[in-house]
Structure formats: structure tokens, C-alpha cells
Amino acid sequence: MKLLLFFLFLFFNSLYPVLSQSNLLETVKKNPSEARNLCDKFREFNSKGISASSDKVIEYVSNKRKLTPVNAEIFSIYVIGLHCPDII
């Protein structure tokens, strides 16, 4: 019985990041103006020769949105894909 509870605990904890990422991506859909502001910031970085996928930009997004670096990278890619495909 304890083993079953342990596996259930592990299973439900493994779902949490998936659910939180889904909510994170929904914020991009619901707030396009915020996403466009982020696109402007990405363009600013691009004008300085800094790629939107660079560690510096991911750190910026991570700090601004209070995200882990992995979630910040996912968020950035999603914003670029939906609102600013001209970003490199």
C-alpha cells in the first residue's frame, strides 16, 4: 500500500510542471500586448547583436516573469512564434 501511495505521489508531482507550463502559455494568448512588449525588447536585444535564445535574454525573461530558466526559454519561444517571428 505504501508503495502504491509513493508511486501516486510521484505521478501527480510529475504532472505539475506540465500544467504550469500550459497556464504560462495561456497568459501569452490572453495578453497579446504584453507579448508585443516583450517582442520589442527582443528586437532591442537583436539590434545589439544578441539572439533571443541567448543566455542573457533568457535570464532577462526569467527575472522579469519570475520563471525558471527552462520555463523562460519555453515562454520566449512561444512568444516569438505567436507574435514576433522576425526575431532571431
Residue 88 contacts by C-beta under 8 Å, 6 or more apart in sequence? 46, 51, 52
Question: What is the widest separation between alpha-carbon atoms in the chain?
Answer: 59
Provide the pLDDT for residue 18.
42
Burial group, residue 78, by CB count within 10 angstroms (0-12, 13-18, 19+):
middle
- Answer yes or no: is 39 within a domain: yes
Distance separating alpha carbons of residues 49 and 67, to the nearest angstrom: 24
- Answer yes or no: is 1 within a domain: no
Per-residue confidence in pLDDT tens, the chain, 88 aa? 555 444 444 454 444 444 455 687 888 888 889 999 999 999 999 999 999 999 999 999 999 999 999 999 999 999 999 899 898 8
- Answer yes or no: is 4 within a domain: no
Residue 75 contacts by C-beta under 8 Å, 6 or more apart in sequence? 24, 25, 28, 61, 65, 67
- Answer yes or no: is 8 within a domain: no
- Whole-model pTM: value is 0.72
- Answer yes or no: is 17 within a domain: no
Provide the pLDDT for residue 1.
54
Domain count for the chain, please give it: 1
Domain range for residue 40? 32-88
